[in-house]
Amino acid sequence: MSTDPCFGRFSEWKDDLILPCPEAHAYGLCRELIPSPESMATPTAINTTFGAAYIGVVAAGVLYGVSFVQATYYFIKYRQDVWYIKTLVGAVWFFETVHQVLISHTVYYYVITNYNNPNTLGDIVWSVLLEVLFNGLIGLLVQGFLTLRVWKLSDHNVPLTLAVSSLVLACFGCSVAFTVQSMKLHTWVELGELKGLSMAVNLLGAVADVVIAAALFFFLHSSRTGFKNNSVLATLNARESIRKLGEDSDELSFSLQSLAKSGQRNPNSARSTNISIKIDTMHDYNREHGMDMAEPGVSGERSTPVRRYCIGLSGAVALVPESAMLVPDEDRCSVDGPLLANLAVDAFLCSTDRREGRLLNADSRGLFLRQAATKRPSLPPGPKGLPLVGNILDMPSDKEWLTFAQWGETWGDICSVTVLGQPVIILNSAKVARDMLDKKSAIYSDRPVLQMGGELVGWKNTMVLLPYGDRFRRYRRLFHSLIGSQSAVKRFYPAGELEARRFLRRLLIKPDDLSAQVRITAGAVILRISHGYEVKECHDPFVEIADLATEQFSLSTAPGGFLVDLIPALRHVPKWFPGAGFRRKADQWSATLSEMVDGPHNFVKQQMASGTAQVSFTSTLLEGKCLSAQEEFDIKWSAASLYSGAADTTVSMVNSFFLALALYPEAMKKAQSEIDTVVGNERLPNFEDRPNLPYNNALFLEVLRWHTVVPTAVPHRLMQDDIHEGYFIPKGALVIPNIWKFAHDPRVYSNPFEFNPERFLPAKGRVPEPDPREFCFGICPGLHLADASVFISCVMSLAVFNVSKCVENGVVIEPVHGNTTGTISHPEPFKCSIKPRSEKAVSLILAEP
């Protein structure tokens, strides 16, 4: 439908501020009514002000009349059209009407109400601002409808549709923002502050129009049947249902009964095929093959228009009956075997006057059969999504592992959702995850591109988000050589024991500040190993910035945490745009990450230059080598990966360990009794004691299972199509293992919601239940290091401290086990009482190592 301009331009006004007009670029007209201060200083000629406004109103009225006639004709001619198309046409016409009323009011205000008072031209009338909003609504409806056509004609091309949708929505959002902000202003001079926003509306709208027009031209042209007189309209109207042809129509060149005949000819073949068929007429066949077989009295051109039908058959296959096969044997396109009923056929059927008869043209320009692909299995089941956007509204933003587990109960161990065309596979079984992510690691080791955490913040350079490739393999070699196994980590045991002793001393002094002491210790262990840095007791700058960065990592990579991860095009939204707060947040988090990565690395280089560097992960890789910039970049980010892979997980594990001791005192007493028996009270436990402390190991494992530190892990990305357990997993699909469900699966763990360390101990007639550390699929930077540092901190704490529920004013404060949302989940804040077991324990804490 046509759209109208608002006003003509007041040509003598200078430095005009253009009002947003999404249709201006589409119809070659613009709406401008903004004088500059200079122009208001002197009287303005009638011809270039009121005259221009008059011309604009007349032009707008003419175009509105065209729109009105079109709308009227549509409702008279197409009364049987579907309700939503009629609603769309009616809504556009209604908004056009309101738009015209607002235009008329604006001109009436300046020309009639304030006749011969040019000073009022400096004031803004409300209608001229409100028309921008209605103009945006018209653009949203029209461009939105055309975007839907692009989606359908492009065979559901998601990237293209998302790009166009983003432009349309951005244009409308700018229109709304302009209207809201401009309503607070009173003069055209003040409106100059919104010039950038108004230009954004016009630019976004123009780009959207161009992209939509180009896409429709391309796809409509590609959909033409190939006949000379076949128009675009005919191509669109060709998509009719097969029922319109009638069951007994002799104009159909296909017969469903031939499906049985085909099966009888070769009953042993069962090949699934997708077929596209176009049937030509005898006249076209004769013309293309130089044959003159026209009947007498029939001219060389068609005597009647060709009727074309585009039939989509779903659930059935139509084959050409042998009676219709009039072409030579060598030109026939035969299909062996029964084509199963779940195939799809697109048949372009053409019929002519019966006097001409029909002929199947086996030429590539006539009848052709195209075997597109063998039919593949379907995606795993899952909740039903909405058209175009899929399951975007079903994706949880808080504690997503619980929702995923509920889906697993309904849909099975492998379920799937689709978010804006992106398949997401949820795994709710450890066995299935192991079969896919471990046994097929060659195709499941890739990582998705996370727009917020990876691209905008910068965590894409760490091991955990690094795509599978050369850099990934280089990082893996670096880790494996230094901390990739338990035997390799042993070289760092002394550093771990030293920092664990310091943790005990800090906890003795500040028992009410458990979380802070845990964070200092975790940072101290990792920084000593990764960079040879010894942290300060209070407010260490490297620890504080690293804690902040890892907290931001957990937030920025949480599934469903940011819309930009689902709509990547949003990363290009300007930072000033309404709703683009994530862009500003990403800049802040990126600066934090850079400081965390560069600070410790530069410290090591300075220490090495002065000859005082301690042995560490970084110094070992830098020492005595002439490295390229890329090699040093890899070392720097490998060390950062070490911190991000171990520090925050260590904090979560140690905090959850103390929470478990407060909630389950019987388990704590059993562990302490074992330590007293094996180690005694003359020294603290060390790493060599671990094999002799089975209950303490079991308690440690139960805490890991009970509080899942990484509930859903970072998603994997499939590098090629896969079939697993009969389900099709497409290339590029995101695969999310629900580790929380693995650890609470009643098929794996007896009474999974009961805290029971004995489940990991062998007993008569009972096999120990699976180790939850096995749920770390693929490469986990710092896994062995975190395991060692957490165990030594926990077992030393058990040796010298009693942990119990806090009592305030005679009331016992009951801790609650809750999980925070994020890639790394921490226990919700809790209080507990931490006291030395005895004076001997205090002396052990204060003793020098």
The Cα-based distances of 815 to 601, 660, 797 in angstroms read 40, 9, 19
Pick from 811, 816, 692, 706: which is nearest to 755 by CA? Answer: 706
Query: CA 543 to CA 500: how far, in whole Å?
Result: 16
Query: CA 438 to CA 590: how far, in whole Å?
Result: 32
Rg (CA), the chain: 36
Buried (b) or exposed (e) across 763-781, using 16+ Cβ within 10 A? eeeeeebbebeebebbbbb
Contact 545, 812 (CB under 8 A): no
Pick from 506, 488, 515, 590: which is nearest to 545 by CA? Answer: 590
- Helix (H) / strand (E) element for 418: namely strand 414-419
- Helix (H) / strand (E) element for 559: namely none
How far, in whole angstroms, is CA 208 from its chain's centroid?
23
Torsions phi, psi for 224 (to 5 deg) = -65, 145
Buried (b) or exposed (e) across 661-670, using 16+ Cβ within 10 A? bbbbeebbeb
Q: Tell me the residue type at 381.
A: P
Helix/strand/coil (H/E/C) assignment for every residue in 190-231 = HHHHHHHHHHHHHHHHHHHHHHHHHHHHHHHHHCCCCCCCCC
Strand, helix or coil for residue 159: helix
Query: CA 517 to CA 520: how far, in whole Å?
Result: 5
Contact 205, 142 (CB under 8 A): no
Contact 263, 340 (CB under 8 A): no
Contact 121, 49 (CB under 8 A): yes
Q: What sign does the CA torsion over 209, 214, 215, 220 have? A: positive
Exposed/middle/buried for residue 243 (C-beta within 10 Å: 0-12, 13-18, 19+): exposed
Residue 61's contacts (CB-CB under 8 Å, 6 or more residues apart) are 4, 100
732: left (phi over 0), alpha (psi -120 to 50) or beta: left
List residues bridging with 323 in a β-sheet: none
Record the tokens describing residue 500, joined without a space.
């664990």
Strand, helix or coil for residue 596: helix
The Cα-based distances of 24 to 128, 141, 692 in angstroms read 15, 16, 80
Query: CA 92 to CA 114: how far, in whole Å?
Result: 32
Helix/strand/coil (H/E/C) assignment for every residue in 321-360 = CHHHCCCCHHHCCCCCCCCCCCCEEEEEEEECCCCCCECC
Tokens 């091309």 correspond to what residue? 157
Contact 664, 755 (CB under 8 A): yes
Query: CA 530 to CA 638: how far, in whole Å?
Result: 9
Query: CA 847 to CA 501: how far, in whole Å?
Result: 9
Pick from 92, 103, 89, 182: which is nearest to 139 by CA? Answer: 92
Query: CA 391 to CA 728: how far, in whole Å?
Result: 18
**Packing angle of the helix pair 83-108, 126-153 (nearest 10 deg):** 150
DSSP notation for 236-279: HHTB--GGGG-TT-TT---BTTHHHHHHHH-TT------EEEE-
Record the tokens describing residue 458, joined without a space.
């910068």
Residue 6 marked in a binding site: no
The annotation places the binding site for heme at 780
Binding site membership: which residues? 780
